[in-house]
């Protein structure tokens, strides 16, 4: 009986590996968690692939209705982050680029007024579709240039668009449009002397920033009245950087193919292709004379001796009657004669025949604001002595022959400003 009591009954075969209820629940939970992790990883991979390879149509649909997104430039990958506008948005804003919204035309292409869905007014510059590779490079150049600089006297880029063959730049809208529409007497606006001086000084400060104060040394190459925009308070903004060039700090000038507008072109650049910031300074001098006289630098409708503005201004200067250059409406309105004479003096310094005789823009700003004394007598400016002939075009073979600027002639001095 004692031996039988010590015997242990072996367990039934089907109960040797049975798990407890808690073990079964843990296994199920691990299976569910593992499945969820795999699903999350797959979703993340799908989202990453969708983000970097989403279809063009889907990308466009996400950006319609005037929405803006910050996007890396997708032409060359080298531009800063800028805002992207959908082409259909700009097409709608400009009413399908209606001629009634045309603000003007430049070398790049037409510029249209537009109104976005949020009520903002913009200026849309559209690359001409018949442009060659040069036009495409000008588009990229302008985007790179304008996104790398910022100054109150430079136009501000809001964004751009690249859709198939379409290339557009979107700028802030300037209510008073471009300076040429006012200066050339085609508009109904009259600028008093205070406003004209404000415009001249603002352009000078914008050029000083480009040449000397920006982290990049930049030559604009196309300073002229149509490239100066005016805001609601007639503050000037330099625009159209399609021809602008970054300039090496260690080089006095670049040898390059001529580009720009001939009437504003410095002789060393037009003849020998020697480009430096002094080419902009020469253009600025021509522009100052236009603002003061309220006329174009070349007007073949005028009498022979008045047709070319720098030449005519110098003839008046030699006769000690340079005040006759001033816009007749401005003379009727009243102005400070000594202030106008000082600005004309500065313009002649900018038009000197040799580049090294033209003062830098920082000196010009100081002269305009009377922070330094006006000293020195300007030489006869370099200007084109072109002859009026029917349908005649100036050829590059003869351009060096028609530039005239004797370097050793006696020059009368402007009346000195009285303290």
Residues with catalytic function: 222
| Cα–Cα dist 394/224, whole Å | 20
CB 417 within 8 Å of CB 320: no
Task: Quote the tokens at residue 89.
Answer: 């948005």
| Cα–Cα dist 319/103, whole Å | 41
Q: Which of 336, 282, 334 minimizes the C-alpha distance to 310?
A: 282
- Matching residue, tokens 């399609």: 242
Q: In the chain, count of helices (H) and strands (E)?
A: 14, 15
Contacts of 19 (CB under 8 A, 6+ apart): none
| Cα–Cα dist 238/205, whole Å | 10
Alpha carbon of 81 to those of 144, 191, 210, 236: distances in Å? Answer: 11, 39, 21, 26
CB 176 within 8 Å of CB 182: yes
| Cα–Cα dist 253/358, whole Å | 14
Task: Quote the tokens at residue 278.
Answer: 């002094």
Task: Quote the tokens at residue 224.
Answer: 């002229």
- Consecutive H or E run containing 331: helix 328-333
Neighbours of 126 (CB within 10 A): 18
| Cα–Cα dist 285/90, whole Å | 37
For helices 337-350 and 193-208, give the axis angle rounded to 10 degrees: 30
CB 82 within 8 Å of CB 73: yes
């Amino acid at each position: 009986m004692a031996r039988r009591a010590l015997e242990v009954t072996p367990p039934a075969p089907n109960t040797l590996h049975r798990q407890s209820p808690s073990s079964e629940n843990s296994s199920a939970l691990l299976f569910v968690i593992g499945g969820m992790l795999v699903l999350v990883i797959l979703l993340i991979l799908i989202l990453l692939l969708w983000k970097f390879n989403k279809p063009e149509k889907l990308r466009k649909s996400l950006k319609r209705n005037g929405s803006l997104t910050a996007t890396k430039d997708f032409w060359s990958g080298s531009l800063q982050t800028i805002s992207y506008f959908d082409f259909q948005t700009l097409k709608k804003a400009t009413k399908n680029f209606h001629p009634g919204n045309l603000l003007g035309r430049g070398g790049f292409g037409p510029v249209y007024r537009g109104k976005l869905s949020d009520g903002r007014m913009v200026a849309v510059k559209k690359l001409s579709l018949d442009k060659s590779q040069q036009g495409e490079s000008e588009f990229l150049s302008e985007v790179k240039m304008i996104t790398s600089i910022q100054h109150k006297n430079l136009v501000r880029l809001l964004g751009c668009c690249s859709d198939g063959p379409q290339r557009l730049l979107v700028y802030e809208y300037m209510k008073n449009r471009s300076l040429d529409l006012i200066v050339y007497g085609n508009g109904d606006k009259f600028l008093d002397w205070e406003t004209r001086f404000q415009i001249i000084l603002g352009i000078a400060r914008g050029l000083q920033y480009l040449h000397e104060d920006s982290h990049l040394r930049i030559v604009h190459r196309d300073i002229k009245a149509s490239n100066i925009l005016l805001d609601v308070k007639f503050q000037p903004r330099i625009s159209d950087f399609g021809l602008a060039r970054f300039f090496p700090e260690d080089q006095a000038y670049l040898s390059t193919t001529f580009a720009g507008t001939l009437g504003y072109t410095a002789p060393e650049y037009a003849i020998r292709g020697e480009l430096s910031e002094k080419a902009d300074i020469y253009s600025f001098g021509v522009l100052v004379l236009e603002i003061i006289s309220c006329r174009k630098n070349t007007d073949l409708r005028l009498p022979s001796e008045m047709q070319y503005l720098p030449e005519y201004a110098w003839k008046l200067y030699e006769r000690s009657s340079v005040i006759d250059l001033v816009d007749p409406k401005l003379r009727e309105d009243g102005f400070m004669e000594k202030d106008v004479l000082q600005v004309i003096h500065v313009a002649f310094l900018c038009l000197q025949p040799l580049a090294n005789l033209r003062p830098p823009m920082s000196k010009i700003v100081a002269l305009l604001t009377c922070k330094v004394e006006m000293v020195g007598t300007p030489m006869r400016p370099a200007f084109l002595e072109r002859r009026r002939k029917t349908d005649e075009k100036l050829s590059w073979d003869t351009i060096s022959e028609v530039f005239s600027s004797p370097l050793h002639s006696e020059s009368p001095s402007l009346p000195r400003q009285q303290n």
